Structure 1
Amino acid sequence: MYLSIKKFDELSTRELYDILKKREEVFIVEQKCPYPDCDGKDLESYHMLYKDGEKLVGYLRILPKGLSYDEISLGRILIDSSYREQKLGSRMVKKALEFVETVLCENRVRISAQLYLLNFYSSLGFESVGSPYEEDWIPHIEMLYKKED
């Protein structure tokens, strides 16, 4: 298995198709949540792909400051259902945080986490900020990661 991080224009047509298909499978079909996935933010984001051979098994996008929040943010974080329970999500988010810190030279990351994943993100150094809210009919909470100097 391997990770890669690419800007939108660096993605191949096949990679883009696989990303959109996997996001649809997880966020729209599996979670029964019809929402507009293509929100225009992909064009400005970095895309982390976690592949097992040619199969996309994990994905997230890294959004620049000012696109969703004042801080850099992570979004559309997913692991293929057949690969869950292998700690790939933890590895992927840690690699994304490392990329943000070392390549983008930032030490704060804000996310809108599904509430049931509060403990998962807390274990990775995120702290909840604010109160739970509903987004696309699913309870969420805003969380902030701050790398201590």
Structure 2
Amino acid sequence: MTVRVLTTSFDDLAPRTAYEVWRLRQQVFVVEQDCPYPDLDGRDLEPATRHVVLVEDDVVIGTLRVLDDGGWARIGRVVVAPVARGRGLAARLMDEAMAVCSDREVRLDAQTGLTGFYAGYGFEVTGPEFDEDGIMHVPMVRSAPT
């Protein structure tokens, strides 16, 4: 089975793929992690947003989005399907996201237990732990190269 990586804007996402992206985010964030929150926040539609999507056998098995927040990029909504975990796919997502971000400063809010994973990409904790929808997070930044 070959995993394909798609990096695209919202307007270039195939309708079925877009549906599967939001279904996966709902399945993991809302149902599995029991965090009812407004996933469809309008940021997916922004022209500068890039969606990184992992597809295997025509099924979305992972996704994240890269937002343009002015002077920096923001990575968020990082998710791998339960059936696809343990295969290094989060790293595939992050490798592509970092390529999209290039030499820009990058920010994200990491679930506290994943700070080591993101540290491997050069991110550092920049503030105190906070509760987001019942799950503890920390702000992290990867500074732009000087």
Same-fold call, TM cutoff 0.5: yes
C-alpha contact 1:59 1:78 (8 A) present in aligned 2: yes
RMSD, aligned CA: 1.2
Alignment of 1:1-149 (within 5 A): 1-44=3-46, 45-66=49-70, 70-101=71-102, 106-149=103-146
C-alpha contact 2:106 2:143 (8 A) present in aligned 1: yes
Paired with 2:95 and 2:125, the residues of 1 have a C-alpha distance of 18
Listed one character per residue, the Cα deviations across residues 89-108 of structure 1 (whole Å, up to 9, x for unaligned) are: 0121011101211xxxx421
Structure 1 ranges of 4+ moved more than 2 A: 146-149
Paired with 1:138 and 1:77, the residues of 2 have a C-alpha distance of 14
C-alpha contact 1:74 1:110 (8 A) present in aligned 2: yes
Query: Which amino acid is the alignment partner of residue 45 of structure 2?
Result: L
Q: Taking every aligned residue pair, what percent have the same amino acid on both sides?
A: 35
C-alpha contact 1:48 1:61 (8 A) present in aligned 2: yes
C-alpha contact 2:72 2:104 (8 A) present in aligned 1: no
SS in structure 1 at match of 2:61: strand
TM-score normalised per structure 1: 0.90
TM-score normalised per structure 2: 0.92
C-alpha contact 2:112 2:137 (8 A) present in aligned 1: yes
Listed one character per residue, the Cα deviations across residues 1-34 of structure 1 (whole Å, up to 9, x for unaligned) are: 1101111111111011101100000100010111
C-alpha contact 1:90 1:124 (8 A) present in aligned 2: no
